[in-house]
Amino acid sequence: MVVTAVISAVGLVVDDRVLAGAPIWFKPFKFSVSFVAYCLSLAWMLSLLPSGRRVGWWAGTVVALASLVEIVIITGQVIRGKRSHFNHETPLDEALFNAMAVTVVILWLGTLAVAVLLLRARIADRASAWAMRSGIALALAGAAVGFLMTQPAPGQRRGVSKVVGAHSVGVPDGGPSMPLTGWSTTGGDLRIPHFVGMHALQLLPLLVMALTALAPRFARLADDRVRLRLMLLASGVYAASYALVLWQALRGQPLIHPDGLTLGAAGLILVAVVLGTYGSLRAQAPPSGEVADAEDAGASKEVMA
């Protein structure tokens, strides 16, 4: 994937072809970079499993091979100057897209197997355990948005249309878009919840790592129960944010032009962040000195008895 990312970056510079409103090499570039982050995250999580490592190895291998097949097809279609996704123009294009659909299902099932292993694993640090569990569950939810994209858009018919499926909701693909991401600025875009969900796999574990790194400087974070509460709060807030951007996209609403309902829901999430963070930090364990005194008093009572 790293090699493909480099090749695609070169392609962005030397190849000026545009397909569906975007530079033709942009898709393999962003897919390969995403797969780098995705596979590294899964590999790290698998390394922490206390048991089931052989099953985890097979699941990880399946994910890696499925990713490889998908990126080969995407890159091959770029070389041919053809769309890789939703393309039913010729029997070959349709066969390649169907092959990609199969690899996505296999990748999703391989990730699900890793998720089951993580849910069953006994990991000492509870905050880290729940960061991984929540991250991979949200990644599965984000990946599942891809199945929504394959449904016929208005005006499309299976067996008749050359293109069946779309990223955008309410507007055609290839219209005005945001820089870098390519997300639609005139309608809903299912790539947004797809992106938000899948990258929980990296962001939630990074958050718990940051909390652990800050623990020596902030006494309250040294309590593993406080870190666990903050991690559960972050997971809930992330899940709510994912649901919000999915709801916004399905209503055909651009990310950068939210209506009152979207802003109201975002406000509620923000209130939950503030109140939840305050409550998590306030509810802490008693100081170590008090714990020691309580233990000494209990020991004295046992001796007297």
> Which pLDDT band holds residue 261 (cuts at 50, 70, 90)?
very high
What pLDDT is recorded for position 174?
83
Most confident of 146-150, 190-194, 277-281: 190-194
Beta bridge partners of 163: 87
Q: What is the C-alpha separation between 265 and 132, in angstroms, rounded?
A: 26
- What integer best gives the mean pLDDT of the chain? 89
pTM exceeding 0.95: no
What pLDDT is recorded for position 137?
95
Which token pair is 70? Answer: 């998908």
Give just the sign of the alpha carbon dihedral 174, 177, 183, 185: negative
What pLDDT is recorded for position 301?
46
What pLDDT is recorded for position 284?
52
254, 187 Cβ separation under 8 angstroms: yes
Burial 106-137 (b: 16+ CB within 10 A, else e): bbbebbebbbebbeebebeeebbbbbbbbbbb
Q: Where are the beta strands (DSSP E) in the chain?
A: 18-19, 22-23, 168-169, 188-189
Q: What is the C-alpha separation between 305 and 299, in angstroms, rounded?
A: 10
Residue 126 confidence (pLDDT) above 70: yes
- Rg (Cα) of the chain, in Å, rounded? 23
Residue 216 confidence (pLDDT) above 80: yes
Stretch 151-168: mean pLDDT: 88
Place of tokens 């990312």: 5
Place of tokens 């649901």: 243
Conformational region of residue 93, where left means phi above 0, alpha means psi within -120 to 50, and beta covers everything else: alpha
Stretch 31-43: mean pLDDT: 93
DSSP class of residue 222 equals G
239, 134 Cβ separation under 8 angstroms: yes
pLDDT digits (tens, 9 = 90+) for 61-108: 999 999 999 999 999 999 999 999 999 999 999 999 999 999 999 999
The ranges assigned to domains in the chain are 2-304
pLDDT digits (tens, 9 = 90+) for 132-150: 999 999 999 999 999 999 9
> Which pLDDT band holds residue 292 (cuts at 50, 70, 90)?
very low
What pLDDT is recorded for position 180?
84
Spacing of C-alpha 90 from chain mean position: 33
Which token pair is 148? Answer: 């929504």
